[in-house]
Amino acid sequence: MPSIIIIGAGFGGLGMAMELQRNGFYEFTILEKAADLGGVWRENTYPGAACDVPSPLYSYSFEPKPDWPQRYSKRADIQAYIHGVAERHGLVERIVFGAEVSEAQFDDSSGQWTVLTTDGTVRTADILIPAVGQLSRPAWPAIAGIDTFDGQSFHSALWDHGVDLTGKRVACIGTGASAIQYIPEIQPEVEHLTLFQRTAAWVLPKFDTDYKPVHHRVLRKIPGMPLAERVSWWLIGETVGLGLVEFPGIVKVVSRIAEKHLEEQVPDPELRAKLTPDYPIGCKRGLFSNDYFPALAEPNVDVVTTAISEIVPEGVRTADGTVYPADVIIYGTGFKGTEFLWPMKIRGRGGRNLSDAWADGAHAYLGITVPEFPNMFLVYGPNTNLGVGSIIYMLESQARYIRGAVQMVAERPGSRLEVRSESERAYNDALQERLALTPWNFCTSWYRTASGKITNNWPGTTRSYRRRTRRVNREDYYLTRVD
């Protein structure tokens, strides 16, 4: 059996491990840089942190949970779910915590990967599976004077729970998926909140509900109900996903829902004008909230749309010279989504550096494997993120495909599997052509590199990706023995 190292103990890494176990591959180790598992749900502890995908769908298909407390579960419930799954499948003892990978090198002579962690430990394995996700590194804004602020400041992904916001003047920079969750939570307790908005977000109503005991009983007692609930939400996501390329009329319907939501929740025309996006819906990540707009309409909140020029000791200065005093600054400026695997140094066949291979933007065959990097398979790699739907479905598709690749290697001990460059190139050329038809091209977002290349998203339905990854096509690969 080939030995395997999985990097990361979030949804992707754990899902990969369970897929291997179910198919008789037990020689794997999971390296996790933190002291606990859970990935983004371990890291993001900001007030109101929750998922914007319904929990019946944002969960493993083989591990349904009939007693979610609400449709869109909060961070603590998701983290508890991940822990429960890992414990039931005996994965916790397979995880090495506090093992942050700094380098990985493929050895041409042995056909193995050598993995180095920051504590100096060296491990080797036949197969390397990085599963570190796309949204694991907070992005700090490039604002002059950011280190000169006299008050307290932190990134929303690194929430400082030691900072008491009660009665404080708080400046919030950024209006992404995290901000629309924590702003309604902190608004009632602060003295004044100033929201600095670069671009308005498209916000849809969140059809959330608390699940009652009767709901839980139905799911437990009626065969097939958990699956039916999951499939129903999946079909909704697939329908909206079709609107990204094939049927743009679907997107127009969604935009009208968002416009009506804004009109109903923000009666003040001046504020509503500030909160009206000037780009097509779908270009940036769509957001869901029922309390974000009402929070911004409260008398202790100001929405500032003038560009920030610098941070000064007393607060935030905008381009018109106005200084907005603050006691605390919260940076809700998202993640470095296009810097895949960074800061790990990955070297493949012949010492090829992955950062060089990705100099013009990350790319991989099916988002999973890269030429010149044998026996390395990515989970949640380039162009596998979603504009609509559950990433867990995508992760399960990738895990099954990778398991098929592992089986191919296992059938020929001492072999290496490497995707053909022509197969990877043809795949990505077709992918970029399809991406050119999507709304993601019409604004700046974390989906795109500085050059404008879309490296994060999959331009289609999750079902279409599942079909592409159903089996490993031997013709797309070199399968060679190590000399």
CATH class of the region 152-202+264-331: alpha beta
Q: Are 43 and 163 in contact (CB under 8 A)?
A: no
In the chain, CATH 3.50.50.60 covers 4-136+337-481, 152-202+264-331
Enter the pTM of the model: 0.94
Buried b (16+ CB within 10 A) or exposed e, 322-347: eebebbbbbbbbbbebbbbbbebebb
Tell me the average pLDDT across 96-102: 97
Average of per-residue pLDDT across 396-409: 97
- The pLDDT value recorded for residue 39 is 93
Record the tokens describing residue 460, joined without a space.
């289609």
Q: pLDDT digits over 310-336, tens only?
A: 999 999 999 999 999 999 999 998 877
Task: Give Cα separations from 333 to 227, 235, 247, 304, 361 (angstroms).
Answer: 36, 31, 32, 16, 21
| 179, 337 contact by CB (below 8 A) | no
Give the per-residue pLDDT at 483. Answer: 66
Tell me the pLDDT of the chain averaged across its residues. Answer: 93
Residues facing residue 156 across a β-bridge? none
How much is the average pLDDT of 252-279?
Answer: 94
Q: Check if CATH label 3.50.50.60 holds for domain 4-136+337-481.
A: yes
In this structure, what DSSP letter does residue 442 have? Answer: G
Mean pLDDT calculated for residue range 157-164: 95
Residue length of the chain:
483
pLDDT in tens, 206-229: 999 999 988 888 888 888 888 999
SS3 state of residue 126 = coil
- Position 439 scores a pLDDT of 83
Q: Quick one: pLDDT band at residue 447, thresholds 50, 70, 90?
A: confident
Mean pLDDT of 250-271: 93
Burial of 146 (0-12, 13-18, 19+ CB in 10 A): middle
CA distance 38 to 65: 17
Type of residue found at 23: N
Decide: 320 and 196 in contact? Cβ < 8 Å.
Answer: no
How confident is the model over 286-293, as a mean pLDDT? 94
- A 10 A CB-CB count for 80 gives 14
For residue 238, give the 3-state DSSP assignment.
helix
Structure token digits, residue 211: 């699940």
**What is the mean pLDDT of the segment spanning 172-176?**
92
The two tokens of residue 191 are 């003295």
pLDDT digits (tens, 9 = 90+) for 176-200: 889 999 999 999 999 999 999 999 9
Contact 219, 66 (CB under 8 A): yes
| Strand ranges, E, within 131-177 | 152-155, 169-173
**Residue range 81-96: average pLDDT?**
97
The pLDDT of residue 247 is: 75
* The two three-digit tokens of residue 3, written as one number: 């030995």
pLDDT in the model for residue 338: 59
At how many degrees (to 10) do helices 11-22 and 75-88 cross?
A: 20
pLDDT at 45 exceeding the cut of 70:
yes
For Cα atoms 459, 465, 468, give the angle at the middle one, nearest 5 degrees: 125
| Tokens linked to 89 | 């499948």
**Residue 323: what pLDDT?**
97
Give the amino acid at 435: L
What are the pLDDT digits (tens) for 335-357? 775 567 878 999 999 999 999 99
User: What one-letter code names the amino acid at 346?
Assistant: I
Going by their DSSP bridges, the two strands 315-318 and 122-125 should be labelled as unpaired
451: pLDDT strictly greater than 70: yes
pLDDT beyond 90 at 249: no
Task: Tell me the per-residue pLDDT of 111-131, one tens digit each, with 9 for 90 and over.
Answer: 999 999 999 999 999 999 999
Q: What is the 3-state secondary structure (H, E, C) of 275-336?
A: CCCCCCCCCCCCEECCCHHHHHCCCCEEEECCCEEEEECCEEEECCCCEEECCEEEECCCEC
Percent of the chain with pLDDT over 90: 78
Q: Diameter of the chain by CA atoms?
A: 73
The whole-number pLDDT of residue 133 equals 83
* Confidence grade of residue 440 (pLDDT, cut at 50, 70, 90): confident
Tell me which amino acid residue 12 is.
Answer: G
Contacts 24+ apart (CB under 8 A), 259-262: 261/203, 261/204, 261/205, 261/293, 262/203, 262/293
